[in-house]
Structure 1
């Protein structure tokens, strides 16, 4: 999970980026396919929030003119610059928070978030900022793990979220991300609601959404 919007410490800035790179998803076909599907159709100038180590980079297509990589963790940025060194797409790093984007209104053709909204400090604030910086006709591409609809799994998520917030530097297991995307003003054009175990991930952590949302006035 790409980390964003939480206070940095030695663990989050130094160990966690190393852990994310070692854990990776290069051998996991489920995650690779979800990333590829999420990024399908992107073009023009793209902002990715919570860039992490750059795991989406192999799935950015030639139709993309530029990528602005927003990441609050300096340790992630250092590792990402090595990890993506072979990319042919111009990538500019910006150290900052999704809740307070430093970009002008309508600055990007699209915004991407993969496994990031679980960790932002303020979910509603981050989505309002994402909405603001997308140009008319643009889209928000997302792939996130979300709150379980099974009450037993939801209960486990609620119990363990304080633990995952520490281990994964801000990660909430139990966020209702889809409903907040809609309440922000987005129209969801496409969405897949999946329940898939990835690697050794337990059942209660296997709830995902991925899709594309548009600004309502641009439909």
Structure 2
């Protein structure tokens, strides 16, 4: 049984933001999904912004979005996607607890900043992947210097309350490795000018792999 999230302010805000994403962010979304094949789990689908970028080598996308208003929009986006997409209103924690068949890939786009326990979620996502399966991530990350101080202030005050529990100063790349993934490709990109006084101007984009089971030849 699903348990939807009711966050009307964030749903309205994210709907506007996702409808006005910059070309740079849309291109990063496309790059993050390029080359995927098989069965894919997308965590935190939002309004379904990623759906149009899935290559036709993907056989199925199971998209998890617990905020009911966003899930309704994601379902509309799924109807026009060129690959089969099923939208579910579970939280990612509930979805993982239910037990599911292994996936060929997991996609996380601007979502690991908002889960309560990212390390635990990443360990469970690892378990949902077949050996050799991929985690594709596009995530806000902790900066350094003045931006790090700005991020810590934002996280301790209004930012998580306004932006759906988003925490900007998370060392997500370290968490991915600590969960047991092997990072195969990663880089950082600026989605806004470096001088912009915003805590989410920089993102990490990468591909991490679940290692093969050492007991299987």
TM range (shorter): 0.7 to 0.9
The question of 1:190 aligning with 2:185 is answered: yes
Distance 1:25 1:79, change over 3 A: closer
Query: Structure 2: which 5+ residue stretches go unaligned?
Result: none
Shift of 1:88: 2.7
Alpha-carbon RMSD: 2.3
Q: Which residue of 1 aligns with 2:201?
A: 206
Distance 1:72 1:175, change over 3 A: same
Q: Distance in 2 between matches of 1:51 and 1:137?
A: 23
SS at 1:32 equivalent: helix
Match of 2:59 among 61, 65, 77: 65
**Structure 1 residues 69-101: Cα deviation after superposition (integer angstroms, max 9, x where no partner):** 111211211121223331132111222222341
Q: Distance in 2 between matches of 1:42 and 1:16?
A: 30
Aligned pairs, number: 209
Query: Structure 1: which 5+ residue stretches go unaligned?
Result: 1-6
Q: Distance in 2 between matches of 1:60 and 1:8?
A: 26
Distance 1:179 1:27, change over 3 A: closer
The question of 1:90 aligning with 2:77 is answered: no
Structure 1 contact 153–204 (Cα < 8 Å) conserved: yes
Structure 1 contact 45–65 (Cα < 8 Å) conserved: yes
Q: Distance in 1 between matches of 2:76 and 2:18?
A: 14
Q: Which residue of 1 aligns with 2:173?
A: 178
Structure 1 contact 105–135 (Cα < 8 Å) conserved: no
Structure 2 contact 132–211 (Cα < 8 Å) conserved: no
Moved more, 26-35 or 42-51: 26-35
Distance 1:83 1:16, change over 3 A: farther
Shift of 1:182: 0.3
Q: Which residue of 2 aligns with 1:43?
A: 37
Shift of 1:201: 6.1
Distance 1:109 1:177, change over 3 A: same
- TM-score, normalised by the number of residues in structure 1: 0.87
- TM-score, normalised by the number of residues in structure 2: 0.88
Q: Which residue of 2 aligns with 1:75?
A: 69
Moved more, 78-87 or 120-129: 78-87
